[in-house]
Amino acid sequence: MIAVITGIGWITTSGPGYGKGLCKKPARRFVMAAGQLPEISRQSAFDTPFPRFGRMDKFSKLGLSAVALALKDAGQNKPDQPDKFGKSEIGIIVSTFYGCLNTDIDYFNTVIPEKGALASPNLFAYTLPNSFLGEAAIRFGFTGINFVVCENHPSQ
């Protein structure tokens, strides 16, 4: 097996970006700085409508947008474009520090009031850190291997 990195995308406190960090706009360069992550809109990562995007939790929107940006860097960002690499051969590796913890807390807060009777099924769908990779598989037709690395400390 030969592994080749063909695209990279990110969402940091300085905004979304992709490529080798050589973008001309400073906001598009890869910078790891403390602060709040930006709110992500569908238009920041996708050129075409994606109705499912609006119902996703924030972590999934961030993750799916980073995947879309990596695919843009690789020249493979349109769901209906010819298959350049072989969808079954595309793998995704994602790194996160907090993952979907905020979504887990939001979901748990819907469980408490009625002892689970009114728990949010929409939030439940996003209570795993790899849920957005399923959304990426649906959006882009991936069938390859993917995984999430949950870091135990922020990268420096």
CATH number of domain containing 24: 3.40.47.10
Q: Is residue 1 in a domain?
A: no
Asked if 96 and 129 touch (Cβ cutoff 8 Å), the reply is yes
* CA distance linking residue 52 with residue 100, whole number of Å: 18
* CA distance linking residue 95 with residue 2, whole number of Å: 21
Q: Is residue 156 in a domain?
A: no
User: Which range of residues forms the domain containing residue 132?
Assistant: 9-76+92-150
Percent of the chain with pLDDT over 90: 26
Q: Is residue 143 in a domain?
A: yes
* CA distance linking residue 96 with residue 150, whole number of Å: 5
> How many degrees, rounded to 5, is the angle at CA 54 between CA 49 and CA 57?
135
Question: What confidence score (pLDDT) does residue 86 get?
Answer: 65
And the tokens for 25? 């706009």
pTM, 2 dp: 0.81
- The domain tally of the chain equals 1
Q: Is residue 29 in a domain?
A: yes
Q: Is residue 84 in a domain?
A: no
User: For 81, left (φ over 0), alpha (ψ -120 to 50), or beta?
Assistant: beta
Average pLDDT rounded to a whole number, residues 63-77 = 85
pLDDT tier at 14, thresholds 50, 70, 90: confident
pLDDT tier at 45, thresholds 50, 70, 90: confident
Q: Is residue 85 in a domain?
A: no
Asked if 43 and 108 touch (Cβ cutoff 8 Å), the reply is no
- For residue 19, the SS3 value is coil
Q: Is residue 135 in a domain?
A: yes
